[in-house]
Structure 1
Amino acid sequence: MDEARRWLERIRALPIPPRFRIMNVCGGHERTISMAGLRSLLPAGIELIPGPGCPVCVCPEEDIFQAIRLALDEKVTLVAFGDMLRVPVNGPRSEPRSLEEARAAGADVRPVASPMEAVRIARDTPGRETVFFAAGFETTMAPVAAMLAEGVPENLSILLSGRKTWPAVAMLLADGQKPGQQPGFDALIAPGHVSTIMGPEEWRFVPGQYGLPTAVAGFQNASLLAAIYSALRQAQSGRIFLDNCYANVAHPGGNPQAQALLDQVMTVGDANWRGIGTIAGSGFALQPAYGAQDARRRFPDCSDPQRRRAGEMPPGCACAQVVLGQIYPNQCPLYGRACQPRHPIGPCMVSDEGACRIWWATGVREPVSPESVSSVESP
């Protein structure tokens, strides 16, 4: 706490511009910022914008629908990380629209906390197919790759929906350079956990190509405040670089063993992000050598082709705009009205890494119109 207070005092001692927008990519960062009330402690003019760091929020609707149909039609045991069970898809109310509803309809759907739980369930039920619906970013894909490299039971297959983090930020910055456009943020706080796997260097393109102050941060208040201070100092001095404010954990080069496992087990290609569209080089898929464990090959008829559209959000839901940092959670037309944690309409209200769920949990209950605010309503 003393260290965090010192960083806050350093920030307050700086000359703060009228408006300085910092995007925090990671959902874990947003949770720390909101739970600690950092927005209310920072000087006026500093805006912290939640970014695209919620894997549950961007998991394509067609992948979730595919998991639902596998559980219902193929009579498999479908396992997934807990947050995925409540993410809704568009569809008739007469049909299950989430894995949780599929379980209520009789499907064998189970939450897991780690890939090894999926292995254990498959081994405990050798006469039944088990499908692991694996959605997540690099920090999740690395242990999934390790699991497959070590070998899995023959009755376990993977429905993979993994994404890389940096291409989404690159897309936002590239869009900001189009004629008549500008980036929606002035600095970036890069995700610490991803950097522990892939290395902080992965984020050098932000200051190098786009000239934006960038700092890798951990999940303690002190690390986040240090990153905010670094971004402000970089902007004021004009010396723009990548600063590692999580150096005790995110080491140069990242985790070579984890990277080697990812390369061994997975390939990277273009991939759809829910409500956003296809982002080049952003999706993980299984290498051909692991095709026998690919649920899409093992159950080729489990997905209705009519459902493979552009990963749309439900009507009226602005989760895609929240994920892209274009609006704040309580500016969504459905926030706090039709969409609440007990009855989520959009994925951002489901996950503990979703900005809408985080804001609701920290006491922001009143929706506002996008036109009525110019900066964040502090949780």
Structure 2
Amino acid sequence: MNEDLSTARQWLARIAALPLREPVKVMNVCGGHERSLAMLGLRAVLPDMVKLIPGPGCPVCVCPEEDLADAIGLALSGQATLAAFGDMLRVPINAPKGEIRSLAEARAAGADIQPVSSPQEVLALAKAAPDRPVVFFAAGFETTTAPVAAMLAQSVPENLSVLLAARLTWPAVDMLLNTDATALDALIAPGHVAAVMGAREWGFIPETYHLPVAVAGFSGNSLLAALYSVLRQKLENRPFLDNCYAELVQPEGNPRAKALLAEVMQVEDATWRGIGTIPASGFALRGAWRRFDARARFNLAALPRRHAGGMPPGCDCAAVVLGRKQPDQCRLYGRACTPRAPVGPCMVSDEGACHIWWQAGLRAAA
């Protein structure tokens, strides 16, 4: 621990010694990075010229409301046991007052909903009750989607279906930079996603947008090393892709995980809550695995749809996800919206910037 602290102080000294003459806006794409930055208090010890901006690295925050509404409706219908990652249970949809607005409320009303932490738990649920349909509501980025593909590539029971709401991370960053590349000066790329898909996936940032980028892990030292790298790149006007998480991340990623994703799933245009459709940003089941698609098995397209598909009124979660607002700039943050009574998904998930800032003690602006 003392060695880690000493190394962190060295990185901070190197960053402080950089001759920054104007603010440098650095987006940390990953929600896990934002949690580390906030909990370690790194913003408070960095030079004022360094502006860290949370990015679109929260899969719960961007999960389409229509998918969540389908999951709630299916669970309430009693046709199946619904399994979902725990942080999806409290995400609210835009339902009229008095109606069920989340999976947690549906569960309290008697729906058979099981929180899980891995696809293997879902597999165990399906095998334990072969006569009962089990639907896995699988929302996530590449890191959690690869294990879903691995689960399906096994000999899974026929009573198991998947309601897939999986997204790729880099297309959202590409869309953001293509919309306004001048809004950012550098980026820190997500370590766990890069461990699966490869560091080279982020090479488009310097190649297309001429911006510095570094892949980082989740320790303070890895994040500071990545931050120092992109700041130097910016000062020297020499943008490139740096890998500051080489102990886990390879240039080409995890070949087996990528092969399973390609075998079981295909990439298509996909909706992001509050943001809209991003081309080639979602996973869908392909070929023989389509028979496990819950949308087809349960005719989910026929369920009533009265949901707007966006964030709740007054909620700036989409702007926070895109780095256009900080959490405390949302008028609901810490007032109408808190972790105990979340209005939007950014206040629910452990990877949501609003939830992270609140847990770190960053309260509403005066």
| Normalised-by-shorter TM-score class | over 0.9
Instruction: Output aligned runs, 1:196-235, within 5 Å.
Output: 196-235=195-234
Deviations 1:198-231 (A, max 9, x none): 0000000000110101000000000000011001
How many Å separate the matches in 2 of 1:43 and 1:21?
Answer: 12
Q: Tell me the residue number matched to 1:3.
A: 7
- Is the 2:78–2:111 Cα contact (8 Å) retained in structure 1? no
Q: Tell me the residue number matched to 1:148.
A: 152
The aligned amino acid for 1:360 is W
How many Å separate the matches in 2 of 1:329 and 1:133?
Answer: 27
How many Å separate the matches in 2 of 1:133 and 1:2?
Answer: 44
Aligned length: 362
Q: Tell me the residue number matched to 1:283.
A: 282
Deviation (angstroms), 1:285: 0.3
**SS of residue paired to 2:89:** helix
Deviation (angstroms), 1:322: 0.2
- Is the 1:75–1:108 Cα contact (8 Å) retained in structure 2? no
Deviation (angstroms), 1:96: 1.0
Deviations 1:236-295 (A, max 9, x none): 111110000001110121000000000000000000000000000000000021111100
Q: Tell me the residue number matched to 2:161.
A: 157
Deviations 1:297-327 (A, max 9, x none): 1001465353465x21000000000000000
Identity %: 63
- Is the 2:66–2:305 Cα contact (8 Å) retained in structure 1? no
- Is the 1:20–1:46 Cα contact (8 Å) retained in structure 2? yes
How many Å separate the matches in 2 of 1:195 and 1:91?
Answer: 37
Q: Tell me the residue number matched to 2:324.
A: 326
Instruction: Output aligned runs, 1:73-112, within 5 Å.
Output: 73-112=77-116
The aligned amino acid for 1:226 is A
The answer to whether the aligner puts 1:169 opposite 2:173 as a matched pair is: yes
How many Å separate the matches in 1 of 2:229 and 2:287?
Answer: 44
- Is the 1:349–1:355 Cα contact (8 Å) retained in structure 2? yes
Q: Tell me the residue number matched to 1:245.
A: 244
What RMSD in Å do the two structures reach over aligned CA positions? 1.1
Query: Normalization by structure 2: what TM-score?
Result: 0.97
**SS of residue paired to 1:204:** helix
Instruction: Output aligned runs, 1:298-317, within 5 Å.
Output: 298-301=297-300, 304=303, 306-307=305-306, 309=308, 311-317=309-315
- Is the 2:94–2:101 Cα contact (8 Å) retained in structure 1? yes
Q: Tell me the residue number matched to 2:345.
A: 347
How many Å separate the matches in 1 of 2:357 and 2:289?
Answer: 40
Structure 1 unaligned segments of length 5 or more: list them. 177-181, 369-379
How many Å separate the matches in 2 of 1:40 and 1:17?
Answer: 19
Deviations 1:333-370 (A, max 9, x none): 100010000000000000000000000000012235xx
Compared CA separation, residues 46 and 325, structure 1 to 2 (3 A): same
How many Å separate the matches in 1 of 2:300 and 2:222?
Answer: 48
**SS of residue paired to 2:251:** coil
**SS of residue paired to 2:67:** helix
Deviation (angstroms), 1:80: 0.3
Aligned mate of 2:121, from 117, 120, 133: 117
Instruction: Output aligned runs, 1:128-139, within 5 Å.
Output: 128-139=132-143
**Worse-superposed segment, 342-351 or 6-15:** 6-15
How many Å separate the matches in 2 of 1:139 and 1:110?
Answer: 21
How many Å separate the matches in 2 of 1:266 and 1:165?
Answer: 16
- Is the 1:22–1:47 Cα contact (8 Å) retained in structure 2? yes
**Worse-superposed segment, 7-16 or 266-275:** 7-16
Query: Normalization by structure 1: what TM-score?
Result: 0.94
**SS of residue paired to 1:183:** helix
How many Å separate the matches in 1 of 2:97 and 2:20?
Answer: 50
Compared CA separation, residues 308 and 90, structure 1 to 2 (3 A): closer
How many Å separate the matches in 2 of 1:250 and 1:301?
Answer: 38
How many Å separate the matches in 2 of 1:314 and 1:252?
Answer: 40
Q: Tell me the residue number matched to 2:333.
A: 335
The aligned amino acid for 1:61 is E
